[in-house]
Chain A
Amino acid sequence: MKSRELETKLRLLTLQLENWKKLHDLITYGLDKAKPIISSEQERQFTEVRANLLQETEYVLRQLNILDGLSGKAMNVLQRTASVRGVRDLTGEDVRRLEMEWNAVFTKLGVAQGQLKARRKQLAGQTAISYYLGRLFRRPAVAA
């Protein structure tokens, strides 16, 4: 059995995670002092990823019911990273804070993705009929 709602959430989450990974790759490149050249193509990619995240993050987090915990952190990351060159000029303290906030967002999204995939796997082993029969005949939880 396949749940359309679940599939939609997973699609949104996968797209969102993909963008956070790309952002991280570019931030890591920007912070790497051994790579002195930042091309205009990289800056363009960075702006594109950032634009996607800025317009989609709030909507996706709301769809997943995790807006409250993450919205502030996600916006902080996006506001601090104006460009690849800008990331290079951040102070050590700012970089640490940026990494912590990126990690908080990434961890939460990763956990949510895992939960949705587990739910999908569970549903895949059921037919629509067995699912609804199970719901119908399941023993109700006993209140403590």
Chain B
Amino acid sequence: MRLRRRILRRRWCAGRGGSDSLGNTPQASFLLSWLLRPFEAVETRVLILNADPVFQDRALAVFDGLDLETDVVRTFSEAIVSLLAENFDAFVIEGQPEAAMEQATNARQHFPSLRIVCLGTQAHRHDVALVGEQQKIELISYARTTGGLRRRIERFVRSIETQGAPSAEGIDPCHSLVGNLNQFSAAEILQMSCLSQRSGRFTFKSGRGNSEIYLQHGSVRHAVFGSLEGESAVAEVFRWRQGRFYFEEGVISQVQTVDRPWAHLLIDNLQKLDETLELASV
């Protein structure tokens, strides 16, 4: 997922000179131009699933007032189609707590690293909260007042914005294989490397972040993506359709988080991807 940090790049406006005429002293002019400066913002993008976004729009009205870009969908399959486009920072599911949690759990199976939030119209029951904790799904329940709801939503939005940005891309001459994921999928290049019994480190860089997959004699030994490790990190990279990759021969991991043969991983992940695409077509 493209993690576009909301960077407020404040820049001096062209009208700075014009503001000089308003202030008599340089300090006053500086203060006035600072107050009047416009800013550009690369906004956080949030996908919101709401079955009735026109009439049940209490939370949506709060989102309208925030500095972020929102896309609203009505059905789960529409949400999956949008999420496959890989450009959302978080996925908010609004509705009755139990139904929302069911959809959130389903989404978690297909998008392991995505930030998913259940925005319940009622307080979440203990069992629902427990499932949320297991599945790393955040819970927000409607507050009695709109102000309370706004504060909860703002806190959540701030937490998205404070997430770390992906590090900058760089290609080193020692990389033995470099390419784009929109030309070769991760599955294809990993298959090729495993068949030729390679040992080394693959680094995948996309808007979602960076992931590393270590191979040893044609088997995946270790994979890491953010807080995910092992097979779930491999599953995440399988979905990426945009980004770059490079391979460094001979870099071996001491850690082993994957112990299944490559063929099994490939079949399982391709099957999972098919299931995701099937959900999107429902």
- Footprint of B on A, CB under 8 Å? 2, 4, 7-8, 11-12, 14-15, 52, 55-56, 59-60, 124-127, 129-130, 133
Find out whether the CB atom of B36 lies under 8 angstroms from the CB atom of A130.
yes
Kindly specify which of B59-67, B79-87, B101-109, B154-162 makes contact with the partner chain: B59-67
Find out whether the CB atom of A2 lies under 8 angstroms from the CB atom of B53.
no
A124–B60 Cα gap in the complex (Å)? 20
Residues 5-62 of B at the A interface (beta carbon under 8 Å): 35-39, 53-55, 57, 60-61
Residues of B within 8 A of A14 (CB): 72
Find out whether the CB atom of B64 lies under 8 angstroms from the CB atom of A56.
no
**Known contacts A7-B64, A15-B72, A133-B36; can you find 13 more A-B pairs with CB under 8 A?**
A4-B65, A8-B64, A11-B70, A11-B72, A52-B74, A55-B54, A56-B55, A59-B55, A60-B54, A125-B38, A127-B38, A130-B36, A130-B38
Closest 4 CB pairs of A and B: A7-B64, A4-B65, A56-B54, A130-B36
- Which of the residues B35, B39, B55 comes within 8 Å of A129, measured between beta carbons? B35
- Which of the residues B35, B54, B65 comes within 8 Å of A15, measured between beta carbons? B54
When C-beta atoms are compared, the residue in chain A nearest to B60 turns out to be A11
Residues of A within 8 A of B70 (CB): 11
A133–B53 Cα gap in the complex (Å)? 35
A7–B74 Cα gap in the complex (Å)? 18
Find out whether the CB atom of B38 lies under 8 angstroms from the CB atom of A4.
no
- Which of the residues A12, A124, A129 comes within 8 Å of B36, measured between beta carbons? A129
B220 → chain A, closest Cβ, in Å? 39
Find out whether the CB atom of A127 lies under 8 angstroms from the CB atom of B67.
no
Find out whether the CB atom of B61 lies under 8 angstroms from the CB atom of A126.
no
Find out whether the CB atom of B53 lies under 8 angstroms from the CB atom of A11.
yes
A133–B54 Cα gap in the complex (Å)? 34
Residues 104-163 of B at the A interface (beta carbon under 8 Å): none
Interface of A is mostly: helix
Find out whether the CB atom of B37 lies under 8 angstroms from the CB atom of A127.
yes
If A4-B61, A11-B72 touch, does A126 touch B38 (CB 8 Å cutoff)? yes
A113–B272 Cα gap in the complex (Å)? 39
When C-beta atoms are compared, the residue in chain A nearest to B61 turns out to be A8
Q: 16 A-B pairs, CB-CB below 8 angstroms?
A: A2-B65, A2-B67, A8-B60, A8-B61, A11-B60, A12-B54, A55-B54, A55-B55, A56-B55, A59-B54, A59-B55, A60-B54, A124-B38, A125-B38, A126-B38, A130-B35
A32–B67 Cα gap in the complex (Å)? 44
Residues of A within 8 A of B37 (CB): 127
A88–B185 Cα gap in the complex (Å)? 43
A12–B54 Cα gap in the complex (Å)? 7
A142 → chain B, closest Cβ, in Å? 23
When C-beta atoms are compared, the residue in chain B nearest to A8 turns out to be B64
Residues of A within 8 A of B36 (CB): 127, 129-130, 133
- Most central of B37, B38, B54 by chain A CB within 10 Å: B54
A133–B18 Cα gap in the complex (Å)? 14
Residues of A within 8 A of B74 (CB): 52
When C-beta atoms are compared, the residue in chain B nearest to A128 turns out to be B35
Residues of B within 8 A of A127 (CB): 35-39
When C-beta atoms are compared, the residue in chain B nearest to A137 turns out to be B22
When C-beta atoms are compared, the residue in chain B nearest to A6 turns out to be B64
When C-beta atoms are compared, the residue in chain A nearest to B62 turns out to be A4
If A56-B54, A60-B54, A127-B37 touch, does A7 touch B65 (CB 8 Å cutoff)? yes
Residues of B within 8 A of A130 (CB): 35-36, 38
A14–B70 Cα gap in the complex (Å)? 12
A60–B37 Cα gap in the complex (Å)? 35
B58 → chain A, closest Cβ, in Å? 12
A39 → chain B, closest Cβ, in Å? 13
B82 → chain A, closest Cβ, in Å? 12
Find out whether the CB atom of B61 lies under 8 angstroms from the CB atom of A15.
no
A130–B70 Cα gap in the complex (Å)? 26
Residues of A within 8 A of B54 (CB): 12, 15, 55-56, 59-60
